[in-house]
Structure 1
Amino acid sequence: MNPSLLRQLWAIVEATQANSLLNLDDAHLVQSILGQCHVRQPLNSEEKTLLSDYLYSRLNLIRDLASDRLAVPV
């Protein structure tokens, strides 16, 4: 997976509302982020599979980051 795609993925995670990241089930969360990635940069089937696997392996981290964003007063 190329670094540019990873940066884009994490930028999307950071830009997504924390409540959305916490309230979606695993499958819908992964699909939502993949969909946003695809809008920014069309993905081929191999990239979708790699990103999907990567996202599933990072769901706890994504939700932890979202929880931290909710806990910090702005």
Structure 2
Amino acid sequence: MTPSMLRQLWTVVEKTQANFLLTLDDASLEQWLLKQFNQEQSLNRDETNVLNGYIRSKLSLIRDLAQERQLTELFG
């Protein structure tokens, strides 16, 4: 995975409403993030597999960050 792919993925995560990220189950969150990524940049099969594996390995981190953002928004 290239640095630009990583940056793009985490930008999508940061720009997405925390509440939305937290409402999706793991499979839905993986697919939604892949779809958002593909709207920005076309990926071949190997890149898609690598990105999907990376997303899967970071789901708990993505949820933790979303929960933290949600708490910050509520209690600022």
TM-score between the two structures when normalised by the length of structure 1: 0.95
Runs of at least 5 residues in structure 2 that lack an aligned partner in the other structure: none
The equivalent residue for 2:65 is 65
C-alpha separation in 1, matches of 2:45 and 2:17: 27
The equivalent residue for 1:2 is 2
Residue 49 of structure 2 is aligned to residue 49 of structure 1? yes
**Aligned residues: CA RMSD:** 0.9
State, as a whole percentage, how many aligned pairs show the same letter: 53
Aligned-partner residue type, residue 42 of structure 1: S
Aligned length, in residue pairs? 74
Q: CA deviation at 1:2?
A: 0.5
TM-score between the two structures when normalised by the length of structure 2: 0.93
DSSP-derived class of the 1:43 partner: coil
Q: CA deviation at 1:20?
A: 1.3
C-alpha separation in 2, matches of 1:19 and 1:54: 22
Q: Provide runs of 4+ in structure 1 moved above 6 Å.
A: none
Runs of at least 5 residues in structure 1 that lack an aligned partner in the other structure: none
Q: CA deviation at 1:19?
A: 1.0
Aligned-partner residue type, residue 51 of structure 1: L
